[in-house]
Amino acid sequence: YIQLYHECFNVSYVIFRLCTPWGSLLEENGNYGTFKTFINQAKQNKMITLYGDGNTLKTYTYITDVCNAFFSPVQNRDIINDIFNIGGHVYSLKDIANYIASIYDAKICFEKWPRLVKKIDGGNTILDSSKLDLYKSISYIKLEDLYE
């Protein structure tokens, strides 16, 4: 629809596709989503729960990298009226759980996928940001960069 509005009414746009953002710029929030869930489980129960084998892969993008990409149109008008993937680093849920478990001395348990959750999960989602990289070079922050 936005491309149609551009063609009909000359509305400019930039569409960014993002997989899984992580982190927070607010100290009291720390993280949200996958990271927050795993950290809370590790702190409270000393047990992180994964569905299936935990090998689902996703591109995780730290929040400052998301903001950096969103600022791109202001810095480079050449990306106006186009669609770009925002990159990051690819981790499995098991990779993240193992990392957090090592910090909090927690265990990981694997459970069968609940039927509804399995239907909702998008499976492997890996985004290639090479198109955006031509216009905006982002040195994506890794999990290990912040929690060493």
pLDDT in tens, 75-97: 788 889 999 999 999 999 999 99
| Joined tokens for residue 143 | 């999990």
Listed residue (67, 85, 68, 88) closest to 141, CA to CA = 88
pTM comes to: 0.85
Q: What is the pLDDT of residue 88?
A: 96
Residues 59 and 20 sit within 8 Å (Cβ to Cβ): yes
Q: What is the pLDDT of residue 83?
A: 94
Which tens digits make up the pLDDT trace of 117-128? 888 888 999 999
